[in-house]
Structure 1
Amino acid sequence: MSDSITQLDSELVSLYLPYKNILEKDMSRVIAVSAEEMVKNRPESSLTNFLADLLLVEGKKIATEMGKNFQPAISYYNYGGIRTFLPEGEITIGKIFELMPFENELVFLELSGTQVQEFLNIIAEKGGDSVGGVRFKISENNAENVEVAGKSLSDKEHYWLVTNDYVAEGGDGLEIFTKRKNFVAGNIKIRDVIMVHLEKKLEKGQKISSKPDGRISYE
């Protein structure tokens, strides 16, 4: 039995090793260069803003490529899902796996203006988060003076939001998302969306960067 198991282990290693070497090589491949270190913080930060803005830009492209008749006006990535920072300088595929280790996929939700307000109130109570397309002030744990795409939030309007499937199903206390008006699956992992975006920047010789811009502030 011992000899048999040893032989089997050796055969498995010989099969696995080439794939391991390829994976390690790919993980060390540089896909972006950052102009500065980006870390997450609340109510907003360079990293949370960067990821939210990236998600909004790519979400609009994906909705168009899917032939949908809507464009997301808001983006959201849950704070707890951002697992590390992005360093200044070269960024590898491995670093993006550290940043987003989960298999979350991109999805679109249609929300009423009232639901958007409730969602942002939750974000305000948390002390801020990773949101794009909106600006508001935190006052007594509520979101006040909310603007979406530069216009005041309207209870009568409906808004499309791009986010991940984990929060879309109520994760991180966002049960409001389960009451959405419509749901559309993007069928692509958030991590892949990030890597595609970064690689396009690198191909153009552009460094990535982001700074707090006042999208979330205290009254």
Structure 2
Amino acid sequence: MNGHFSKLLLITWAILAFSCKPNLILTEVKTNNLTVAENSSLLDSQIVFQYLPFKNILEKDMKRVISFSEKEMVKGRPESGLTNLLADLVLEEGQKEAVRLNLQIEPVVSFFNYGGIRTWLPKGEITVGKIFELMPFENEMVFIQLTGTQLQQFYDIVASKGGDSVGGVRFVISNGKAKNIMIEGEMLDSASIYWMVTNDYSASGGDDLAVFTQRLKLITSGKKIRDIIISNFEGRKIRGVNLTETLDGRITNE
């Protein structure tokens, strides 16, 4: 009797102990969750408090007007006011940077990849925030040295896509190929060497540009394309020069 009772008591205790254990764990987890939530709220508040001054400064800078456009500019093929503007800007700033860094090179052509242009420029005021929308990537300006043959291959790729954002060059698209390629007023020479200004994404072969990975040389500038655009636009504003659309027939269809 006593033995039977002892076994029954042991089994009952085991069942109660086992059934109570999850309850204790559940209660503890619930308590910890509440504590963590309270600490997280406090931590979040501290972060927001410390970040708020920078947030206000950032928002103010994003609304800062850095230029004025005389008309709305959107990207298009074979050329457009926006693609021409950006390609010419990168070439101009690249030439200045090459001199500033004493690189002993002379960039004569540029490429601002079409896919990297993410929005349009409106007519009227252009803000810093709009440039972040236009160029949201952290791409860096680089210089690449290419042979004339490699440039021909590159412009054939551009022609196969119907055009792109290129500077310092003129050519005709014929049957998906680039012909009558003119650089600095002279026909492209396959035996010559040329320097191009572009971005590190394209230089690494992005957007099916494997030809750029076969370049002869590459020089980095340490400058972000977006920062270069902002600085250029600010300079125009200081000089009282508005953004204008330029369609000069640099790429035409036969």
**TM-score band (shorter)?**
over 0.9
User: For the pair shown, which has the larger CA radius of gyration, 1 or 2?
Assistant: 2
Alignment partners' CA distance in 1, 2:129 and 2:163: 28
The residue number in structure 1 matching 2:87 is: 52
1:173 to 181, 205, 208: 208
1:131 to 142, 166, 177: 166
- How far 1:4 moved relative to its partner? 1.8
The residue number in structure 1 matching 2:105 is: 70
Question: CA offsets, 1:160-195, max 9 Å, x none?
Answer: 000000010000000000000111001100001111
1:34 to 64, 69, 77: 69
Determine what percentage of the aligned residue pairs are the same residue.
55
Q: Which has more helix, going by share of residues? A: 2
Alignment partners' CA distance in 2, 1:6 and 1:162: 48
1:110 aligns with 2:110: no
- How far 1:211 moved relative to its partner? 2.1
Runs of 4+ that moved beyond 2 A: none
- How far 1:3 moved relative to its partner? 2.2
Length-normalised TM-score, structure 1: 0.99
RMSD across aligned positions (CA): 0.7
1:89 aligns with 2:124: yes
Alignment partners' CA distance in 2, 1:181 and 1:9: 51
Q: Which has more strand, going by share of residues? A: 1
1:140 to 163, 172, 175: 175
1:206 to 233, 241, 244: 241
Alignment partners' CA distance in 2, 1:182 and 1:36: 39
Alignment partners' CA distance in 1, 2:199 and 2:93: 13
Alignment partners' CA distance in 2, 1:157 and 1:14: 59
Alignment partners' CA distance in 2, 1:5 and 1:216: 57
Alignment partners' CA distance in 2, 1:80 and 1:10: 39
The residue number in structure 2 matching 1:162 is: 197
**Structure 1 unmatched ranges of 5 or more:** none
1:80 aligns with 2:125: no
Length-normalised TM-score, structure 2: 0.85
Question: CA offsets, 1:95-147, max 9 Å, x none?
Answer: 00000000000000000000000000000001000000000000011000000
- How far 1:28 moved relative to its partner? 0.3
